A and B are shown apart, each in its own frame.
Chain A
Amino acid sequence: MSAEDEEGRSKRVGIRARMYVVFGLVALGFGMVLSSAWDVMVRDGEGWRELAERQRQRRLRIVPKRGTIYDRNGLALAVSVEVPSVSLDSYDLLRTVPAPQIPVVARDAANRIAAVLELDPADVERKILSKRRFSWLKRQISAEEAARLRELASRKVMGDRRVRGLVVEGEGRRYYPRRTVAGPLLGFVAPDGEGKDGIELSLDHDLKGHVEQLRGLRDRSGRLLFADGMHDDQALAGHDIHLTIDQGIQHTAERELANVATTFEAAGGSVIALDPNTGEILAMASWPGYNPNDYRSSEINERRDRGLSDLFEPGSTMKIFTIAAGLSGGAITPAQKLYCEKGFMPVDNVTIRDTHPSEWLSISQVLAFSSNICAAKIGLALGGNRLYDSLRRFGFGQTTGVPLPGEATGMLRPRSRPWVQVETAAASFGQGISVSNLQLALATAALANGGELMEPAIIKRVSSATGETLRTSVPKVRRRVVPKRVARAVVEMMIGVTEGEGTGVEAAINGYQVAGKTATAQKTDPKTGRYSLDKYIASFVGFVPARKPRVVISVMIDEPMLEHAGGAVAAPLFRRLAKKILEYQGLMPRSAKRADLAALARTADPAHAVYEAMRQAEGRRPAVQDTVSPAPVGAGRVRVPDLTGWPLREAVRRLSDLGLSAKIDGTGLLSLQTPAPGSVVTKGETLTLFFEPAT
């Protein structure tokens, strides 16, 4: 071994040692990386997993289409239509912009967006710089604005100057096709989709549907890749509401109310029409009203549903309930006569007066002449507590439970203590207490239907967007108020009001018996606390036909100026509206001659005769074979019936009854069938039916 070898070996050893050192360092590096992997993946993995999960889930907020509000016959009163709204994904807008250029780009984009949408550029710029993924720019924009925005965002038109992150999407806007009809009843919907008044508010939850959060997967640029299925297949549309309101009656009521209110320069008024047998509200008119399509230009007192939320001292209409209470309480009998003190009766320190001073009056006459004194006597005979209880049983002083917002309770005992004698006397003829028009109508309905207080119904049916009925209103009796005989007796007395010398003759309708009661109540002057001399509330409540009532109508006119008697102001409105409703519902007047259906059935079709006559006059031979005596068909053969206009299911059913089969084309109602109707075919033959959707 030479020294050189020795040196070489030590050199080798050095190299080997250093290789080990380097390998050790590399191994150490791997150790560090792997221990860090353990930390990230296992020890702290939970946080990262959650973050990743959140990142890839894109939540789609699907705002369902708001349900439609229909009247009882299926006429749409409130519908939702899609209107474009524009929102901004400012993160997307600035995504490709290098940091130093952000202020410039943001300002430029803000100016261009603001120019299109007529917004404040500074405001838009602030939204852009917020780097938020969602903010509304402008809701419910016009089609033109939407088109210009799309242009702004289009690469084709704008090239590199296009604005990213603009999202134009349809948003539901509420539209009331019948404009002012039932405006205060329906309410309106704010741009954020919240129902704000009336039905829109009280049934907001049903109408709105559930805002469904859809979970989807998104990629790097935020595009939705795929979404989970819907959890609730009814989520995409709110429920439809079918009201008990009849649009025709409502419209008439509103028109008549507006006529009266403007004629008498009234401050306001309300009309309620309801079915006494079911408690269904057919019309609820309030004046002044407003157009919910343009609710912004209306004032708050125009949006109030006065029949529901305005309280007033009812005055004489209350006497019918006092009498009913007296009769059922045994304080009076129907045949009794009362002494009416010739128009003046002092009770404690006040004097009660009558407008028609009388001596002895039957109970009927008390009502017909509207004697305050005798009503007070009945009330006093009954006693304050029993009168109060009776009126409570009629539903006064408590909410009716109608599912509408803003219902007023009314007040029987102003100071929450039993009445003193004067108060009992005053309450007997409707003073010192307050009621709402709806309470009055329902209490009257309780007399009309034989003594049962009904729960008012405004929602007839709630159905899902697919047409499935979810809830139906069933007539609900809240309680029996008076025995049937008492109710009948009071009805008979109320008929007297509209007959002869009664105060309500203006309400009488030819051919029908009308039961009702007028009221002319002085208003309390809020300044003096005394009854005002020139401010009145004229009202009339009644029903028709009296003995088998179809509709109760309660009219309240606030501060009519030219004339203030209930019989002159409110009763004619009752008459006109009731007449319309009777005609509308096809109820014949008593005197009307009914068509003899049997005779009509025997005669040949009159239209056919006219048609034939015209043809002959034109010198043409009859084109249509006489359908009265069709040629006999052979055995095993059938004549094809005319099925045009029938729905698919029915048409097929009828054909199969005849032993024919059908080939179906299209959907809807049958528009064409071959072979033609009337032709004779062999049983088992196949007909081709063409259907078209009903328009």
Chain B
Amino acid sequence: MKGVVSGLLKRRAELGPPDAVLVALAVGLLGFGIVIVYSASTIEGVGLKHPDPQFFLKRQTVYAVLALAVMAVASSFDYQKLRPLTYAILGVACAGLVAVLVVGVVAGGAKRWINLGPVNIQPSEVAKLALVLWLGHSLAKKGDLVKTFKLGMLPHLIMAGILIMLCMKQPDFGGAVVLALLTFILLFVAGARFELLVVTGVVASAVGLALVRSRDYRWERILAWLDMNEHRQDLAYQPFQSVMSFGSGNFGGVGLGDGYQVLYLPEAHTDFVSAIVGEELGFVGVLGLGLTYLVIVARGVRTALRAEDDYGAYVAFGISTLFGIQSLFNLAVAMALLPTKGLTLPFVSYGGSSLLASAAAMGVLLNISRSRFAVNNKRVDEGPAPEASATLVTEADFAPEGPDGGTR
């Protein structure tokens, strides 16, 4: 362990600064999230067993501080050191997903949280990052083999399929869709054969549809979403109220803290926080929020394009896509363009797991975004062989301590 820390410190000097735009946007979103969560959660806080309008504000602030710390740590060491931990992280995520099915806390009809005393953690948030790290590692390793179905695609589909099935068991349909999309997008980017992707995509969609139809409540929710007006008092209450929140905002919004929809919109501070942004800050606020995420994705893709190797590129791209998909879907759900899924808005929605997982992902992205000319030069001098041995050494060095490093 001492070696790791000293290694981190030693390496640091050789790293360039992370992408300043990404840092600014991530930190800005965290701060903005605290403000808007406070506005959205006071009513909920007053309704608690021990009424406290600032309950969620206090917790979100603590989470945000922790998130900054996580982000700083995750961006500070050579991300290559994460690569040997890939399977450990994946294992932890899988274990978490299994554990949640066994000992999970039921809330809102789903087992998504593991109760750890003062905090509940949501393993599916960890699973998203774990999958991206693993896909990056695996796709970079496979190289051209990606083009084959048996060796290139199938292992990824199976691994992702396991995570997806675990998510569906909770049930966390939104998480499952995000995992599936991430897998397909990364396979597509890595060069998997398009026709195979289309075929598997169609098969996966069919399976997904069958799963939706197999559970009455899910199907009813879809039907209610399709005919929202009819179901505005029951199944489509939440999306209907959410759209009403957006509609109440007009161009400039009713003003921060002056919104009324928090009275009616369930989960206003978590999954539907964007609706409160819409009401209180108006179209301007929503536009700003959307553009912020788009810029984060853009800077993330830029990082991927500039990454020193395929692993970094895939991971950076996967993380950017994760932010992109997650925020896009969250906004689309809040505007009732998509049925309700249960996806948080990264960095803004209330919730420790979401915040810390997003921060960790952002940390890794920032890590990759650091310029490494010095390191690169060195590596070119040293040649490929030492690099491989170094990897082995590092692997041997880190492997036993994997689980420690993997938990957050």
A interface list, Cβ under 8 A from B: 11, 14-16, 18-20, 22-23, 26-27, 29-30, 32-34, 36-38, 40-42, 44-45, 47-49, 51-52, 55-56, 91, 99, 217-220, 225
Contacts and interface: CB of A to CB of B under 8 A. Distances in A.
Contacts of A30: 290-291, 293-294, 324, 328
| A interface secondary structure, majority | helix
A286 B298 CA distance: 94
- Among A19, A41, A47, A49, max chain B CB count under 10 A is at A41
Given A37-B246, A220-B264, A14 B301 contact: no
Contact of B244 (A16, A32, A48): A48
A167 B301 CA distance: 60
B22 interface: no
A30 B329 CA distance: 9
Nearest to A50: B247
Contacts, number: 120
A45 B297 CA distance: 29
B266 interface: yes
**10 A-B pairs with the lowest CB-CB distances in the bound complex, closest first:** A48-B247, A26-B324, A18-B189, A41-B283, A219-B263, A52-B248, A29-B328, A37-B286, A23-B301, A33-B331
A52 B278 CA distance: 14
B317 interface: yes
A32 B329 CA distance: 11
A23 B43 CA distance: 38
Contact of B290 (A34, A48, A52): A34
Interface in B129-170: 144
Contacts of A16: 305
A36 B337 contact: yes
B interface, by DSSP: helix, strand, loop or mixed? helix
Contacts of A32: 337
Nearest to B261: A52
Nearest to B265: A220
A219 B301 CA distance: 44
Nearest to B253: A41
Contact of B283 (A11, A38, A55): A38
**Which among A49, A52, A219 has the highest number of chain B CB atoms within 10 Å?**
A52
Interface string B156-188: 000000000000000000000000000001001
Interface string B172-214: 0000000000000100111100000000000000000000000
A298 B266 CA distance: 57
B247 A49 contact: yes
Interface in B240-261: 243-251, 260-261
A99 to B, nearest CB: 8
B345 interface: no
A51 B244 contact: yes
Contacts of B263: 56, 217-220, 225
Given A11-B144, A49-B248, A51-B247, A217 B260 contact: yes
B305 to A, nearest CB: 6
Contact of A49 (B250, B291, B294): B250
Interface of B: 43, 144, 185, 188-191, 233-234, 243-251, 260-261, 263-264, 266, 278, 282-283, 286-287, 290-291, 293-294, 297-298, 301, 304-305, 310, 313, 317, 321, 324-325, 328, 331-332, 335, 337
A60 B324 CA distance: 47
A33 B189 contact: no
Nearest to B248: A52
Nearest to A34: B290
A19 B266 contact: no
Contacts of A34: 286-287, 290
Nearest to A23: B301
A48 B335 CA distance: 12
B346 to A, nearest CB: 14
Given A34-B290, A37-B287, A219-B263, A22 B321 contact: yes
Contact of B185 (A22, A40, A52): A22
17 contacts: A11-B191, A22-B321, A23-B297, A27-B298, A30-B293, A33-B332, A36-B337, A37-B246, A42-B251, A44-B247, A48-B247, A52-B260, A56-B263, A56-B264, A99-B234, A219-B263, A220-B264
Contacts of A225: 263
B290 A33 contact: yes
A694 to B, nearest CB: 46
Contacts of B266: 220
A217 B189 CA distance: 52
A33 B191 contact: no
B304 A19 contact: yes
A93 to B, nearest CB: 13
B188 A41 contact: no
Contacts of A40: 243, 246-247, 335
A45 B247 contact: yes
A22 B287 contact: no
Given A48-B246, A218-B263, 10 more contacts: A15-B190, A26-B294, A26-B328, A29-B324, A41-B249, A41-B282, A44-B247, A45-B249, A52-B244, A56-B263
Contacts of B310: 15
Most buried by A among B283, B298, B304: B283
B181 to A, nearest CB: 10
A439 B214 CA distance: 86
Contacts of B305: 16, 19
Given A37-B283, A41-B286, A26 B297 contact: yes
B335 A37 contact: yes
A38 B247 CA distance: 9
Nearest to A41: B283
A23 B301 CA distance: 7
Given A23-B301, A33-B290, A48 B248 contact: yes
B43 A18 contact: no
Contacts of A22: 185, 188-189, 317, 321
Contacts of B185: 22
Nearest to A91: B233
Nearest to A47: B247
Contacts of B282: 41
Given A16-B305, A23-B297, A219-B43, A33 B328 contact: yes
Contacts of B313: 15
A27 to B, nearest CB: 6
Contacts of A38: 283
Contact of A56 (B247, B260, B301): B260
